[in-house]
Amino acid sequence: MATTLYLIRHGETQNADQRCYKGHIDVPLSAKGENQMKKVADRIRNVPLSAIYTSDLQRARRSAEIVARPHNIKPEIKSPFKERNFGRWEGLTFNECRERFPEEFNAWVKNPVEASPVGGESTLDVKNRLVPALEKLLKKLRGETFSIVAHGGVNRIIICHLLGMPLQNIFRIEQNFGALNIIEIWEDAPVVKLINGICYKTD
């Protein structure tokens, strides 16, 4: 029997149009983000989820609460699933980071796995804190269906890990707001059934 993971990215956040690195900044969902998550909840309301886990940041927690409502489940907070800490880049846009910290930024572009902003985490750092938590859940919930509501960076790392993909390819995986990914794990053979599924109408 397969273990099935419904891996979800949180909905759109307030001021998402600024396209800055939020990382550990604790921003809430926008009204649009709330609606996106209601659509996700409707999409999987008949899925027999046995548990829902979420990052401790409010954009993920609120998203998990919306998803959990039809299942009468209280989401359980797992801090290892929080987004990457971008250090002194947090709150800055892509271009601002490149202009203010050119050497640091170029190092990250060349080596996104091991390089990191000052005071922040590398992709490898994030993998090292979240994979043990993920593997523990997969062992605990073997043969069950459960959900993790997290962040774009975290979801990409989880998908790379389960499929045995090099972390260098992390940004080849898209994760829109409210993205739904469905992964079945048969013994030690994960199979992706859906990736970056969108349950709402896009503009």
Identify whether 33 is part of a domain: yes
What pLDDT was estimated at residue 203?
A: 61
Identify whether 203 is part of a domain: no
Residue 77 DSSP class: E
The catalytically annotated residue of 10, 90, 121, 151 is 10
> Residue 185 phi/psi, 5° resolution?
-115, 110
What pLDDT was estimated at residue 1?
A: 86
- With tokens 């796995």, the residue in question is 113
Indicate whether 202 pLDDT > 80. Answer: no
Identify whether 53 is part of a domain: yes
Identify whether 10 is part of a domain: yes
**How many domains does the chain divide into?**
1
Structure confidence by residue, pLDDT tens digits, 55-100: 999 999 999 999 999 999 999 999 999 999 999 999 999 899 999 9
b (16+ CB within 10 A) / e for 67-101: bbeebebebeebebbbbbbbbebbebeeeebeeeb
Q: Catalytic residue at 96?
A: no
Average pLDDT over residues 92-116: 93
Q: Catalytic residue at 83?
A: yes
36 to 49, 62, 179, 201: CA distances (angstroms)? 19, 12, 9, 9
- Which CATH number fits the domain that encloses residue 160? 3.40.50.1240
181/7 Cα distance (integer angstroms): 5
b (16+ CB within 10 A) / e for 161-175: bbeeeebeebeebeb
The residues that bridge with 13 in the sheet, in sequence order, are 29
The catalytically annotated residue of 83, 90, 104, 121 is 83
**Residue span of the structural domain in which 112 resides:** 3-197
pTM for the structure as a whole: 0.95
Average pLDDT over residues 139-159: 97
What pLDDT was estimated at residue 19?
A: 82
Structure confidence by residue, pLDDT tens digits, 17-56: 878 899 999 999 999 999 999 999 999 999 999 999 999 9
